[in-house]
Amino acid sequence: MTEERRVPIQVPVLARVEGEGTLELRVRGGAIEEVRLRIFEPPRMFEKLLEGRDYSEVPDMVARICGICPVAYQMSAVHAIESLFGVDPGSWVRDLRRLLYCGEWMQSHSLHIHMLAAPDFLGYTGVTDMARDHAEEVRRGLGLQALGNDIIRLLGARSVHPVGVRVGGFHHVPPRAQAGALLDKLRAALPQAEALVRWTAAFDLPAMEQDFTAVALRHAREYPMNEGRLVSSHGLDVAIDQFETRFVEHQEPHSTALHCLHDGKPYLVGPLARLNLNLDRLPVPVRAVLENTGVKFPSRNMYHSVVARAVEILLALHEAIRILEAYHESPAPGVDVKPRAGTGYGCTEAPRGTLWHRYDIDAAGKVTHARIVPPTSQNQARIEADLRQALQAYGLDHEDAALRQRGEMTIRNYDPCISCATHFLDLRIHRVSCF
């Protein structure tokens, strides 16, 4: 008789991940027949909440979508609205927005590396357990995270759900002395960020290559954060307003998070995809540190995402230093804005990957329709494909507890923000007539 074993990895709150989800496998005859990452959080409907609101309210509203990456939502929103209104806030605002994004990458990536990923790769149940043997490394990580929060606070007035951003610029000008004090702290942190890259590169990571399509922004001159064209490892190169022609979201019955496919197939967004596609955009000092680790990029090993995050922390630190060294106070932290009717598109690189926004706005400046495609929904199908391959390679003869741990590690490696992704529910009722 053919063996049939259903292996449910029931994790009502997937440990150390933002949001709630359950992994379920169906195994038949020693092979995985079905993988379902069940996302069952109630849809938050935040796109619908934006309808009827004034454009000026959007940046602060979308920042509440996520407490870990509020800057990403604000930046995608303001870029979309400014593109519609024909607003160019100038190079001063552009530089400071890049600085703000540096802060978010630093705090988010450091949180993921030390609180989520490192315990998995070093064999600990969590960061508290890990800190007993790696106290110095944990302190270093918390220090880098705090510096990222300091950058966000400088421009956003607070580090969680910042309120300093507006369409056209910022609400206030940071004092030069305050910026200078932060600059000194950032310079002093460079050795710590370099050490973090070397530490992650030395992890004993599972050696498993996969074939996947990487998607990210690409900029003509710099490592992408706020601007660029959408490119892929399989030849895609389009403007961000073409997203809907190549990427399609759909509903799976087992998830309140949408699945997004590129030309009908799963794809990867996030730090590994960004680094694979933009290796030549790294500053020379950052590229040198990475090359000295011996870890080769582009990489097809999904677990090299942890190294990519450390590299992006070092990159963000260098960029923040560069911007603050040239900082000067501006008499006006932004430009005037006049609303007009139409559709605007914004796309930036959140810590977890590409974040795309579209807004339809009327002549009075009111939002008539909003669409937000977060990184986690874009990675959803890729996560399930990764789980199938990773668990099959690991060996299905392992005990359920071991399979559960490997499955959680695979999911956490993507740093998914499940709550961010649960923004839509398509209710379909099929009625069967009786004769």
Contact at 8 Å (CB) between 75 and 101?
yes
pLDDT of residue 427 exceeding 60: no
Distance CA 32, CA 397 (A): 12
Distances (CA, A) of 14 to 93, 121, 362: 39, 17, 41
Average pLDDT for 367-392: 92
pLDDT of residue 169 exceeding 80: yes
Average pLDDT for 363-384: 94
Contact at 8 Å (CB) between 232 and 224?
no
Q: What is the pLDDT of residue 348?
A: 98
Q: What is the pLDDT of residue 20?
A: 67
pLDDT of residue 33 exceeding 50: yes
pLDDT of residue 382 exceeding 80: yes
Q: What is the pLDDT of residue 106?
A: 98
pLDDT of residue 362 exceeding 90: yes
Contact at 8 Å (CB) between 380 and 260?
yes
Largest CA-CA distance found in the chain, in angstroms, rounded: 81
Nearest partner of 266 among 387, 148, 367, 124, judged by Cα? 387
pLDDT of residue 313 exceeding 50: yes
pLDDT of residue 18 exceeding 70: no
The residue segments making up the domain with residue 140 are 46-421
pLDDT of residue 13 exceeding 80: no
Q: How far is CA 111 from the centre of its chain?
A: 12
pLDDT of residue 205 exceeding 50: yes
Q: What is the pLDDT of residue 3?
A: 45
Q: What is the pLDDT of residue 105?
A: 98
Tell me which of 270 and 410 has the higher pLDDT.
270
DSSP state of 419: H
Q: Read off φ and ψ for residue 5, nearest 5 degrees.
A: -135, 120
Contact at 8 Å (CB) between 276 and 214?
yes
Q: Which amino acid is at 197?
A: V
User: Which of the four pLDDT bands, split at 50, 70 and 90, describes residue 17?
Assistant: low
Tokens describing residue 335: 């430009």
Whether 9 is in a domain gets the answer no
pLDDT of residue 127 exceeding 60: yes
Contact at 8 Å (CB) between 109 and 310?
yes
Say which CATH number the domain at 291 has: 1.10.645.10
Contact at 8 Å (CB) between 422 and 376?
no
pLDDT of residue 94 exceeding 50: yes
Tell me which of 16 and 258 has the higher pLDDT.
258
Whether 21 is in a domain gets the answer no
User: Which of the four pLDDT bands, split at 50, 70 and 90, describes residue 418?
Assistant: low
Question: Average per-residue pLDDT in the chain?
Answer: 89
Distant-in-sequence, close-in-space partners of 329: CB < 8 Å, separation ≥ 6: 173, 174, 175, 176
Mind listing the pLDDT tens digit for each residue in 317-329? Answer: 999 999 999 999 9
Average pLDDT for 397-426: 72
Unique residue bearing structure tokens 């009717």: 341
Q: What is the pLDDT of residue 26?
A: 80
Tell me which of 412 and 79 has the higher pLDDT.
79
Average pLDDT for 77-100: 97
User: Which of the four pLDDT bands, split at 50, 70 and 90, describes residue 336?
Assistant: very high
On the CB side of 270, how many CA atoms lie within 13 Å of its CA? 32
Q: What is the pLDDT of residue 420?
A: 56
Q: Which amino acid is at 184?
A: D
Mind listing the pLDDT tens digit for each residue in 139-157? Answer: 999 999 999 999 999 999 9
Q: What is the pLDDT of residue 7?
A: 47
Distance CA 417, CA 412 (A): 10
Which range, of 4-13, 50-59, 194-203, 269-278, averages the lowest pLDDT? 4-13
Task: For residue 356, give the H/E element and its range.
Answer: strand 353-361
User: Which of the four pLDDT bands, split at 50, 70 and 90, describes residue 34?
Assistant: confident
Residue 205, phi-psi category: left (phi > 0), alpha (psi -120 to 50), beta (remainder): beta
Number of domains in the chain: 1
- In the chain, % of residues over pLDDT 70: 90
Distant-in-sequence, close-in-space partners of 157: CB < 8 Å, separation ≥ 6: 163, 164, 171, 172
